[in-house]
Structure 1
Amino acid sequence: MADHYDDLETRDPSEREAALFARLPDILRQAAKAPVYAERLMGIDLAGVTSREALAKLPVLRKAELPGLQKAALPFGGFVSGAPGSFGRLFTSPGPIFEPETSLPDPWRSARGLYAAGFRKGDVVLNTFSYHLTPGGFIMDSGARALGCAVIPAGPGNTEQQFELIEAYRPAAYCGTPDFLKILLDGAAAAGRDLSSIRRALVSGAAFPKSLQEEFSAKGIEAYQAYATADLGFIAYESAAREGLVVNEDIILEIVRPGTGDPVSEGEVGEIVVTTLDPHHPFIRFALGDLTAAMAGGSPCGRTNMRIKGWMGRADQATKVKGMFVRPEQVAEIGRRHPELGRLRLVVTREGETDVMTLNAETAVPSEALASAVGTTLHGIAKLKGEVTFSSPGSLPNDGKVIADERRYD
C-alpha cells in the first residue's frame, strides 16, 4: 500500500515553491477578470508576483467581509467571473456566504487528505457531513469518489437508520465530526449493533482532543483530522506521523499577524491566509480568521510541504470597550507608526465599574517619552485612552492574541 498520494507530496520544498509561484501570475490574471479583484489588483504588476515577498504586498480579503460584499452584489460579491450556471453545484453556509462548486473532479482537493487517513479504492465510506445546502457532505463525497470509494450519503442524525446502513454495507471508513462518531459508537454499544467494519476515519468540524483519539483507537478505529472550510475545501490534513497538519498541494498558505497582511516568522502564532490556484474560482490572500503556527521541517511521514499546528483560536478579537469597538487592525496600526515596538497585546480589564485598556508592547528601547507617544497614538486610533507598558523582546505570549479581553463580571 503506497504511503503517499503522488510524488508531489515528497518533492523538494524549493521545487514546490517554484512551481506554485510560476503558476500564480496566470491565476492572478484570471482572478482580475472578476470586478472586485480587478479593482483590488489594479496597478499591480501581476507578472511580477512570483514570490512570497511579492504576494505579501497584495491586499488581504477577510472572510468576515464576504457576507456584506455578496449581499451588495449577489451572489458572489464580484469575486467570481463565471455566472452561477457555469458551476456544478451551488451552496450557502452561515453568514450567509454563497459558495460555488466547480465541475472538476475532486473540486475541494479532499482526496489527498482522505488518502493520508488510509482511505483506498474499493472502500465503502460512511459520510455523515450534511448534504443539505452546505458543501460539507460534497467536500468529502467528491474526494472519496475520486479515490474510487463508494460513498453512503448518510448525513448527520438518524442513528437507527445509520446502524442499519452500516450493518448492511459494512463501511470501512467514516467521515464526519468526531462528536457524531462517538454518538454512533456509544449508541451501537448500548443497542447491541455491529459497527466493527469501521476501521478508519477522517474527522473535521469540531475539536478532536487526544483523549477522544485514544478512545477511538481503543475501539479499533484510527481517526485523523483535517482542517477544511466551506469556501476552500481541504487546507491541511493529518498523516500517520501525527505531527501537525500537512498543508495541501495547489494552495499557498501564509500566516500573518492578526489585523494585518504581514507574514510572521516561523513558529509565531498568526492568522491563516490562503491563496488557491484554481483558475475557475481563485481566492487571493483569503484570511480565514483562524490562528495557527508553522512547524519546522518536513513530516516524518515523508511529506515535505509546510506543516501547521492546527486550529489555535480565532484572530477576530474585536471587543467593545466603553461602548466602542477596538479591533486588531487598530493595534497593528499602532505598531506601524512605532517601528521600535515588537509584538503588541492590548489587555482589557475592569476596575470597579469601568473598562480599562493597557497596551503591552515589546521593545528594546523603553522610555517615558516613547510610552507617552504610543499612548497618544492609541488614543488617536482607538478614540479611547489607555495605559502603555513595556516588556523585553520575545516576552509576550506567542498565542496570536492581539486583544485579550480579561474582564470579569462576577
Structure 2
Amino acid sequence: MDSSMDSNNSFHSPVENASPEARAAWQFEKIMHVAGKAAEASGEFRSRLAAAAIDLRDIRTLDDFARIPVLRKKNLLGLQQEKGLDWLLTAAPGNLSRIYQSPGPLYDPEGREQDYWGWTEGFRAAGFRTGDLVQMTFSYHLTPAGLMLEEPLREIGCAVIPAGPGNTPAQAQLMTSLPVTGFVGMTSYLKVIAEHARNAGLDLRKDFNLRVAFVAAERLPESLRSEVEEAFGMRVRQGYGTADVGCIAYECAELGGMHLSSRCHVEICDPHTGQPLPMGETGEVVVTPHTLSYPLVRFATGDLSRMVDTPCTCGRTAPKLAGILGRVDDTAKVKGQFIYPAQVAEVVRTFPQIARHQVVITNDKGSDWLQLFLQLDGPLDHAEFIAAFTGKIKLRPALHVLSGGEALPEDCPPLVDKRTYE
C-alpha cells in the first residue's frame, strides 16, 4: 500500500483535530448561521419555531439549540407533498445546483455551496489521494449517490470513471484494463466483482490495482470487510450519510467507529423527546448540516446509534458513531434504499387478489436479501406485480407465493428485518 495513504496529516478541515471546546464553538457558530438563514426564508423552520414558541435570540448555547423540535425524516415526505418543496428551501429551485429524487417520491435538493454534501473529509480519511483513478459504481440516475460522491473525489484531485451500478463484466474489464486504484460503491458489489473475476481466471492481486475503497448504503459486517480486503490486498473504509443531509460520519485508518464529520452538528437523542442523550447511550441520530439552501435543522434520521469519545490515534478529535444499530420506526434500508411499509401496501392494494403480504429482510453471507411473501385469493400475474413493486420501491424482491394450507397470520407485521451483524 502507498504509504501516503496512511498519512495522518492530510486533514481536510482544521476542525478535525481541534480541541472539544474549539469544535463546540465552531459548530455553534455554524448551526446558528444555518438557523438564522432558515428563520428568514424557510416556511418549514419558521412554522416549527412558532409552534414551539422559540425565539432564536434566546438560543445561546448548544444546550439551548436542543430546545428546537426535531424534523423527522418520516414527516419530510408529507411536508414536501402538502406544502411543496419551496416551503423548505431558502433559494428558488432554479438557483439550486441539482434536484434529485428518492423513492416516495422525496426530493433531495443540492445547493451551490462548495462540497455541498461534505464527503471530501471522509474520502481523505479513507486514504484517497490526488492522482487516484476511482471507479464509481453508485447510480447517476435521479438519486444523488453517484454525483454526490464523485464531486469530493474530483476536489481531492482524483479522476473518476462514472461506471454506475451493474454490468459486472464491464466493471471488471475497466478495473483490469485501466489503472483503477479506488472503488466507491457497496462492499457486497465489490465482492460480486471479485467472484466474477475469479471465475474468469483473473488474479485479484496481480490483475487489479485496487488499494482503497469507500463504501456506503449498507451495513458492513467485519467478516465481509476482511474478506474483500484480503482478496484484493486493499483497504475498505465506510461512510455514513443520507440523501437528505449528505455525509454524517466516516471511518479513518484506525477503525473503531466513524468520526463525526465537521460539516454538520450531530446529536444522539431520545427518539421520543428529541433531547440529547449522554455520551455512550443509544438513541436516534439527529443532524444539522451546515448547508443553507435546504436547511434541515435538527433532522432526525430514524437511525439508531451511540457515540464514543475514546481518543483516536489518527489525530482526529471528533467523537465516533459506533455503527448504525437499527431503525427507530418500522422502515428498513436495503442496498441504499429505504423501504416504507406504506409504500408496499400501496402497491399491494392495486392487486385485489392479494389477501396478505409480508416483507422479510435477511443478510445471508453479508448480502441483503429482500423477500416478499404473498397469500393470494386468486390468480396473480407475477411479472406484472414484480414490475409494479420494483417501479415503486426501486428494489426487486424474491417473491414467495404461499400455497396449499399455508397462510400468513392475520396480525403479521408488514415488514420483518431479520438481519444480524457481528
**Smaller-chain TM-score range?**
0.7 to 0.9
Matched position secondary structure for 2:317: coil
Q: Choose from 206, 212, 222 the match for 1:200.
A: 212
The letter for the 1-side match of 2:94 is: G
In the alignment, is the contact (CA less than 8 A) between 1:126 and 1:153 conserved in 2? yes
In the alignment, is the contact (CA less than 8 A) between 2:134 and 2:159 conserved in 1? yes
CA change 1:244–1:80 in 2 (3 A) is: same
Matched position secondary structure for 2:107: strand
Matched position secondary structure for 1:133: coil
Q: Which has the higher contact order (CA 8 A, sep 6+)?
A: 2
Q: Report the Cα distance in structure 2 between the residues aligned to 1:28 and 1:65, rounded to whole angstroms.
A: 19
The letter for the 1-side match of 2:47 is: E
Please state how far the C-alpha of 1:241 moved relative to its aligned partner. Answer: 1.0
In the alignment, is the contact (CA less than 8 A) between 1:24 and 1:49 conserved in 2? no
Provide Cα deviations, 1:367-406, integer angstroms capped at 9, x if missing partner. xxxxxxxxxxxxxxxxxxxxxxxxxxxxxxxxxxxxxx9x
Partner residue in 2 for 1:9? 16
Partner residue in 2 for 1:264? 277
Aligned residues: 320
The normalised TM-score by structure 2 is 0.73
Q: Report the Cα distance in structure 1 between the residues aligned to 2:164 and 2:330, rounded to whole angstroms.
A: 33
Q: Report the Cα distance in structure 2 between the residues aligned to 1:168 and 1:51, rounded to whole angstroms.
A: 55
RMSD over equivalenced CA pairs, Å: 1.9
**Aligned residue runs from structure 1 range 261-340, under 5 A:** 261-317=274-330
In the alignment, is the contact (CA less than 8 A) between 1:107 and 1:142 conserved in 2? no
Structure 1 position 216 matched with structure 2 position 228: yes
Partner residue in 1 for 2:49? 41
More displaced 10-residue stretch of structure 1: 38-47 or 169-178: 38-47
**Aligned residue runs from structure 1 range 104-183, under 5 A:** 104-183=113-192
Please state how far the C-alpha of 1:255 moved relative to its aligned partner. Answer: 0.6
Provide Cα deviations, 1:299-334, integer angstroms capped at 9, x if missing partner. 22111012110100001159xxxxxxxxxxxxxxxx
Q: Decide which structure has the larger Cα Rg and report it.
A: 1
The letter for the 2-side match of 1:207 is: R
Partner residue in 2 for 1:71? 81
The letter for the 2-side match of 1:5 is: F
Q: Choose from 29, 38, 48 the match for 1:22.
A: 29
Partner residue in 2 for 1:229? 242
Q: Report the Cα distance in structure 2 between the residues aligned to 1:288 and 1:277, rounded to whole angstroms.
A: 16
Partner residue in 2 for 1:55? 65
Q: Choose from 90, 94, 101 the match for 1:85.
A: 94
In the alignment, is the contact (CA less than 8 A) between 1:125 and 1:172 conserved in 2? yes
The letter for the 2-side match of 1:230 is: A
Structure 2 unaligned residues grouped into runs of 5+: 332-412, 417-422
Partner residue in 2 for 1:326? none
In the alignment, is the contact (CA less than 8 A) between 2:134 and 2:160 conserved in 1? yes
> Among the aligned pairs, what percent are the same residue?
38
Structure 1 unaligned residues grouped into runs of 5+: 319-404
The letter for the 2-side match of 1:305 is: A
Moved over 3 A (4+): none
In the alignment, is the contact (CA less than 8 A) between 2:111 and 2:292 conserved in 1? no
The letter for the 1-side match of 2:143 is: T
The letter for the 2-side match of 1:162 is: Q
